[in-house]
Amino acid sequence: MLGRAAAGNDADGRIILNGGRVGDALIPPQLIGVPDAYGVFVHGDSMEPRYHPGEAVFVNPHLPVRRDDYVVVQVAGDFEGDDLSGYIKRFWSMSADEVILRQYKRREDVANDEPEDEHFTLRFPREKVIAVHKIVAAGIV
């Protein structure tokens, strides 16, 4: 298992992906023999009822993603040397300009006068997104 929860109160469930191993788990059968497969623990409740805090999700980084797939998105930090941030979300779309993700819990940092969809949407500049990896299994470890 990789990553650790971001410090502070992060309502969007950000995970620090610094390459550090935080634990071991039995690999799900669909990931046996898959190079670079990994798992992370869910942080925050933005994806409840699908994923809960402390639950593990397992990723196959070689599968293509489609709209509505559950994913781990890796986003570069703002400054050189920053750790990657990881987000467990539903994939919505990707263009040359941005990656759009959805979550289940209403975001508190969106102004009330924004369209309703924006309260459940995260947007990242495409050039900051390092990877979008498909979640293939989840559970308590």
pLDDT digits (tens, 9 = 90+) for 27-44: 899 999 999 999 998 988
Q: Residues 49-59: pLDDT tens digits?
A: 999 998 999 99
DSSP state at residue 13: -
Neighbours of 132 (CB within 10 A): 21
User: How many residues are given for the chain?
Assistant: 141
Residue 131's H or E segment, with its range, is strand 129-139
Domain boundaries, the chain: 2-139
Residue that the structure tokens 């986003």 belong to = 75
Whole-model pTM?
0.86
What is residue 1's predicted lDDT score, i.e. its pLDDT? 58
Q: How confident is the model at residue 77 (pLDDT cuts 50, 70, 90)?
A: confident
For the segment(s) 2-139, the CATH number from 1.10.3720.10, 2.10.109.10, 3.40.50.10470, 3.40.50.720 is 2.10.109.10
Give me the pLDDT at residue 14, please: 78
pLDDT (0 to 100) of residue 19: 65
Q: Can you tell me whether residue 7 is helix, strand or coil?
A: coil
Cα gap 74→60, rounded to integer Å? 14
